[in-house]
Structure 1
């Protein structure tokens, strides 16, 4: 009970102070999968040493981390941070969900990688001193060769099935915008 209460209390301040201009952010539809009992499809593991100024190692990834200049760090070139990693992961996952949904809908996505682009911005928001922080996401979706209305339908379906969209549901303000190529 305490952990659920704590989780609920952590979410309340963000919901309560959300600006009215953010009302075009979407909330994905309900989940249909129980992630605690669902069969495992894939597992990823990463080892982090040194927090935001440290080092990450995974099976197919080795990166050094830096605190961004905006947060008072050096923002070292050639190094990354958790928000950039999250933006990359979310963008790639959402694009894969779009491809899967388009195929299911009978819509042909471009075969050239550079003709389908997800430009993802992840913002760290809140109060660092008060340790009350969260994320906000904005994606710009561009796909060459699809009509805007057709692409919007694909995006709406992808919002329902993308694992990142499902994981952030109710916790992260997310806006997905279809823009011309």
Structure 2
């Protein structure tokens, strides 16, 4: 049985015309080659998916997930979990910063704003043709639907992970207003 493969280009698409609500502030694009560095994180990996990671403030042991034929050792992690944690934390920070820039008050209690991120490794391991797919469930209490929608839209624009993955991978965001 023949299958049809669809390849997405790794280049970014031209930006769409901004909506009326965002025309007042033109979107700026950071040139990653020349922009000043704000912070640098470093990690040294030894042993690939079954190895060890050390960073400035990080010590993590890795395991191959059971679903990929590994042991899935308790207390150890894998690259997909690390990416899910980083993307979720970055997106939530982008939500908070976006809300503040628009004069929208986010909840004071940490448990009233939650981002759950799932990163799926997809593709064909034998052919070494793999990528990732991301799903986020964003739950926030105490905002109006209109403000919640604005915060999510702005966070998508400003989150560095969202910018880095835009046009490269599928990211689905489920927004749940509590």
Instruction: Give, in angstroms, the shift of residue 70 of structure 1.
Output: 0.5
Q: Deviations over 1:70-128 (max 9, x none)?
A: 00001000000000000000000000000010001110001111111001000000000
Q: Which residue of 2 aligns with 1:63?
A: 60
What SS does structure 2 have at the residue aligned with 1:179? strand
Distance 1:97 1:28, change over 3 A: farther
What SS does structure 1 have at the residue aligned with 2:39? coil
CA distance in 2, matches of 1:164, 1:29: 17
Superposition RMSD in Å: 1.9
Bigger relative contact order (CA 8 A; separation at least 6): 1
Matched, 1:103 2:100: yes
Name the structure where helix makes up a greater proportion of residues: 1
Q: Does structure 1 retain, via aligned residues, the 8 Å contact 2:148–2:177?
A: no
Q: Which residue of 2 aligns with 1:15?
A: 8
Distance 1:139 1:69, change over 3 A: same
| Larger CA Rg, structure 1 vs 2 | 2
Instruction: Give, in angstroms, the shift of residue 57 of structure 1.
Output: 0.5
What SS does structure 2 have at the residue aligned with 1:15? coil
Listed as ranges, the gaps of 5+ residues in structure 1 are 1-11, 17-26
Stretches of 4+ moved more than 4 A in 1?
A: 27-31
Q: Does structure 1 retain, via aligned residues, the 8 Å contact 2:115–2:138?
A: yes
TM-score by length of 2: 0.85
Q: How many residues of Structure 1 are paired with residues of Structure 2 in the alignment?
A: 160
Of 167, 173, 177 in structure 2, the residue corresponding to residue 176 of structure 1 is 173
Q: Deviations over 1:33-61 (max 9, x none)?
A: 10110000000000000000000001111
